[in-house]
Every structure is written in structure tokens, then in C-alpha cells.
Amino acid sequence: MRLHHKGYIPLLLMMAILLVMVWLINLVFPQQTTVHYILYVAGAIFYFLCIRFFRRPFREIHPDPDKILSAADGHVVVIEEIYETEYFQDQRIQVSIFMSPFDVHVNWYPVSGEILHTKYHHGSHIPAYRPKASLENERMSIVIENEHGKPVMMTQIAGIVARRVFTNAKTGSYVFQGEEAGIIRFGSRVDLILPKDAEIRVKLGQKVKGCETIIASFQDKSLFLQKS
């Protein structure tokens, strides 16, 4: 199992905390009992789950410029039309994917193209599955325009447990569909803000997989022909 490099320091700190706790327990209660062993097992399970959280899976990518792939593992919690105010200033379709602490938290670019816009927003840490998390939580917005001039916004949103959003996105750079975009530490969410004419291919509550599940497809073929 590969680990994401952003997990090295948290895992080392967590190991140190657990070892200190074991030392204190044995200092105060040196006689080994069933309770001791239960605590040891609980600590080991907890640490294993922390390691699993930072896993970095390999995903085989089949690039398709007409498709928008899932940027994360998780469940679809929002599909709705919104008025996007940060960049587009028009009507768009929002598809939100909630990642529980048990999901992979690496994020991937949903389309290939040039990054036109990036913006980090300081914010609160309300539960990521709540609708207003898109506007109030700590988050990172990235706008990618594909080769046909179709822009998509991807927003990484921290949740009630997640406290850090990490991304490698840089304005002006070119990224590839399925390339790693970053990671959000612990329970969190990714919003995809899509063109209004995009054909949505998922349903509310559906389990999706990053780089594999098709979230939507572009519809305006005439625009593609004009730009080719």
C-alpha cells in the first residue's frame, strides 16, 4: 500500500502520541490486565485506520476529452443547478462528492486542460456534507479549461475533521485527466461545477470512484467542431 507524502508527519506524530499514552498507562497502572490489552488493540486498530486514510492507490486512466471523471472516491450528495459567483458568474450544475474518513482522500483532475484560476479560501469546518460547506468552509477552487474551451471548476473542501487542503494546482499550468490534484486530510468533500448543458451521468447517493466513474459528459458538439 502506497502512502501519500502528506501523511508522513501526521502518522509520525500519531505514533509518538500513542507510545506516550502507552508509557503513561503502564507508569500509572504497571500491572497488566485485560483492560491494558483492550487498549493496546484499540490503539493498533486506530493507527491502522490512520495509515489506511493516507493510502495512495494506483488508478488506470482512460482519458476522454468528452467526459468528466470523478475527482474523488465517495458518495454523491448534491446534484443541483446553482448560480456560481466566484469565477463564472452564471448558471452551472454542481455535483458534490462527500468523502468519509474511510474513503481514499487523494483527489484527481476530472478533465485535461489549462488551469485558468486557483483561489484558496479561509473558512470554518462545518460538516462537509452540509450544502453551505461549499461557501463557508476552508476550500481550494481550481478552474480547468479543456482543449475544446469547456471550463470545469473543482473545489476541494475541508470538513469537520479535515483541517487542511493540499493541492499542486498552479494557474497557467497544463494538467491531465486523472493526474493527482492533491489531498484533503480526513472527512471532506469535492464539488464539481459543470457547464449547464453537461449531461449528468450519476445519481444522488451513488458511490463513485476517482478516475473511473463518469460524472458527466459534454454536450455541445457544435462548439467542439468550431474550435477544431
Residues carrying an active site annotation:
188
User: 31: which residues sit within 8 A by CB, 6+ positions away?
Assistant: none
Q: Are 169 and 142 in contact (CB under 8 A)?
A: yes
Going by C-alpha positions, the residue among 162, 118, 108, 170 that lies closest to residue 137 is 162
Question: What is the three-class DSSP state of 2?
Answer: coil
CA 223 to chain centre: 30
Going by C-alpha positions, the residue among 85, 20, 10, 91 that lies closest to residue 49 is 10
**DSSP of 52-65:** HHTB---------T
Residue 216: HSE in the Cβ half-sphere, 13 Å Cα cutoff: 24
- For the purposes of burial, counting CB atoms within 10 Å of the CB of 219, is it exposed (0-12), middle (13-18) or buried (19 or more)? middle
